[in-house]
Structure 1
Amino acid sequence: MTAMTAVSTSSAPSSAALAVANPWALVPPLGNLDAYITAVNRMPMLTAEEEQEFARKFRDNNDLEAAGKLVLSHLRLVVATARQYMGYGLPHGDLIQEGNVGLMKAVKRFDPDQGVRLVSYALHWIKAEIHEYILKNWRMVKVATTKAQRKLFFNLRSKKQGYKAASAADSSLHDGLDAATHRETLSEHEIDQMARELNVKREEVIEMETRLSGGDVMLDPGPGEDGEDSFGPIAYLTDAGHEPTAMIEARQRDRLATDGIAKALDALDPRSRRIVEERWLKVNDDASGGMTLHELAAEYGVSAERIRQIEVAAMKKMKTALAEYA
């Protein structure tokens, strides 16, 4: 059961009997927001006796048709409440959608024997759902986490708007740009006044004001207008050295360069091992490296070409040993 998936109708209801027979047909889909608001504002309000009757039918007999009538008669309340939260940059339709969820939760939990009207009870649930939606979607990083911070978040924005409206008459005394800049943040006097009115510490007002005034930054802006990738924080936040694949490859290289090389050298005969060590693994203090082919040839009494052949054969044997080790 949801007011958002109702069947659309092109004409206004001709009688209250239609609302009783098929109440959902009176509410168009939320995609047509203007038509939706017009339709819910035409829905007939329930009397206290009707509200009690439908609430008991739903509570005692799980009568979904009775629950639907309770929801439909209060959709205008959701529209009016959602309109109060238009200043957060979120779609009005989404705010209404979340408010409707809160309304249905209220209908489900409403006790007609408590002596209160559904409108008073439902308002709490409608606002709670809208608040939750705003806090989750207004910023990627939540500006309010505790219950006290959430209350301060909404009250601070409301009070701040009031201060701006009150100072609008004085804006003509300042340059337009300077006045606009002046109103971006609260003055010391306004902070003290707001702390007293909201009954919170001055530091809490300053902290929440800082969170609210901070701008959002995209981690990865993506391609710019010229097709080139735009620079964003992701470029310098990325630590390639701790990327899992790179770390595994680095450990494998370290193992091959130490244990693997040692194991491959053990597979060679003494002459081949010394030739490889002198030609590839030995570094003198003067950075001249090991012995040349001619120096090794003179030592072993063979030609330089023979030393080169022994070196090539030894390197092949080491490559095979390293592959087996890896």
Structure 2
Amino acid sequence: MAIGRKRTKGTTSRPRAKRPGAPSEAEASEAEAEVEVEAAEPEALEPAPEELVEAEAEVGDVEAPVTTSALVPAGESGITRRDPLQAYMAEVTRHPLLTREEEYALAKNYQQTQDVKAAYRLVASNLRLVVKLAHEYHRNPLSLLDLIQEGNIGLMQAVKKYDPDRGVKLSSYAAWWIRAYILRYIMDNWKMVKLGTTEAQRKLFFKLRQEQDKLVAQGFEPSPKLLAERLNVTEQDVVEMDQRLGHDEMSIDAPLGDDSKSTRADRFLPSSAAGAEERLGNEELKELFREKLAEFAQSLEGKERFIFENRLTSDEPLTLQDIGDKYGVSRERARQIEAALINRMRDFMRERIPDFDLVAVPKG
């Protein structure tokens, strides 16, 4: 049986969008408190010795929760399709549990030699534990097989870091890593917009609804300020997470009705186009600008008139060098004449057009 990140046959790809039948608001708070923050960074997870002792009593020798419905024997066809979860469980149960002595010997061997076969046996013997923990966190629309896959990755990480000399069973230590990877997967796929990108958000994702229920039971109003004090986060974080957990995402491109071509974006998002009054005002200003520009041109003579017509307002303006060659002056002198002409034109317009600075200078 290949153990790795490859998806089990029959699993679906990671969901990117929230599907119908998503978990309720209260279900988000059911995640275990032990890994409420560490779930997004499983590499930083390392339980304390006393916590491992408690976990060992909790986990014990795990038996796989195998479904009771009969499997279709190999080589035979059935009326109904074979359940991929049943097929996976049939494969998992082929791997026997290890005794404490076998587990210690294999873990020690892997720790000293990095023997892949020893790691394989350690992982395979604890696959039942992954299924058990995945069932604890299974909610629609998340696939149970996807949760099992993520838990298997956490199990392999636990095998890499397991120290058999600490006197704790591998299953007790691995439970922390399995939960961490499952919870990280839940946070990444709970909503279309990713949750848990900061430590405060991860804490609120697991604890907000739980803390609200506690305050209500104690007779307090669960205000954002009180919740922020109890959870050691900001009020803004509380408000934002409460809104995100309490509302489903909606596509702004989805039609408003079955027979409607209008979308939410058309109705609720402001248009970037200018309004009718604004467009009309701009056209009036531009027309006034053109009239005053023609009036300014009538007051020019000689070099200035030539520069105005063949450089400032021409679709194909001459270069400064061309103007200098025509009048026998240097390129720099032509630039100075042009700069003085522009300043005169600007002053002329400002005197006659109050909103001149709002008008775009037209070409031609």
TM-score, L = length of structure 2? 0.46
In structure 1, the residue corresponding to 2:139 is in which secondary structure? helix
With over 3 angstroms needed to count, the CA separation of the structure-2 counterparts of 1:104 and 1:140, relative to structure 1, is: same
- Secondary structure (helix, strand or coil) at the match of 2:120 reads helix
Deviation at 1:38, TM superposition (A): 4.2
**1:156 offset after TM fit, Å?**
4.0
- Alignment partner for residue 263 of structure 1, among 303, 314, 323? 314
The residue that corresponds to 1:2 in the other structure is 4
Higher helix share: 1
2:247 maps to 1:214: yes
Structure 2 counterpart of 1:200, one-letter code = L
**Residues 252 and 265 in structure 2, CA contact (< 8 A), matched pair in contact too:** yes
The aligned counterpart of 2:108 is 56
2: CA distance between counterparts of 1:129 and 1:43?
23
| Number of the residue aligned with 1:75 | 127
The amino acid across from 2:243 in the alignment is T
Letter in 2 for 1:212: L
Alpha-carbon distance change, 157 to 37 in structure 1, aligned in 2, over 3 angstroms: farther
Q: Does 1:153 align with 2:205?
A: yes
Quote the offset at 1:42 in angstroms: 5.5
- What amino acid is aligned across from residue 110 of structure 1 in structure 2? Y
Amino acid aligned to 1:152 = L
CA apart distance, 1:67: 0.7
**Larger gyration radius, structure 1 or structure 2:** 1
What is the CA-CA distance between 1:64 and the residue it aligns to?
Answer: 0.9
Report SS of the residue matched to 2:86.
helix
Displacement after TM superposition at 1:138 (Å)? 1.2
Higher relative contact order (CA 8 A, sep 6+): 2
1:191 Cα deviation after fit: 5.8
Gaps of 5+ in 1: 13-29, 164-185, 242-256, 268-284, 286-321
CA distance in 2, matches of 1:265, 1:187: 79
Which residue is equivalent to 2:269?
236
Shift of 1:7: 9.6
2:23 corresponds in structure 1 to none
Structure 2 portions without partners, runs of 5+:
11-70, 75-81, 275-289, 294-307, 319-351, 353-363
1:115: which partner in 2?
Answer: 167
Q: Are residue 139 (structure 1) and residue 191 (structure 2) matched?
A: yes
Secondary structure of residue in 2 paired with 1:263: coil
The 1-side partners of 2:265 and 2:218 are apart by 34
Q: Tell me which residue corresponds to 2:231.
A: 200
After superposition, where does 1:1-326 map in structure 2 within 5 Å? 1-2=3-4, 4=6, 32-41=84-93, 43-87=95-139, 89-156=141-208, 189=219, 192=222, 199-200=230-231, 207=239, 208-221=241-254, 228=261, 230-232=263-265, 236=269, 239=272, 262-264=313-315
Check whether the contact 1:218–1:233 (CA below 8 A) recurs between aligned residues. Answer: no
| Equivalent-residue separation in structure 2 for 1:265 and 1:147 (angstroms) | 60
Amino acid at match of 1:220: D
- Work out the number of aligned pairs and report it: 214
CA positional deviation for 1:49 = 1.0
Q: Is the 8 A contact 1:33 1:93 kept in 2?
A: yes
Question: Kindly tell me: are residues 7 and 128 of structure 1, through their superposed partners in 2, closer, same or farther at Cα, counting changes over 3 Å?
Answer: closer
Letter in structure 2 aligned against 1:214: H
Alignment TM-score, normalising by the size of structure 1: 0.50
Q: Return closer, same or farther for 1:133/1:6 CA change in 2, 3 Å cut-off.
A: closer
Query: Alpha-carbon deviation of 1:70?
Result: 0.8
Structure 2: distance between partners of 1:7 and 1:86: 18
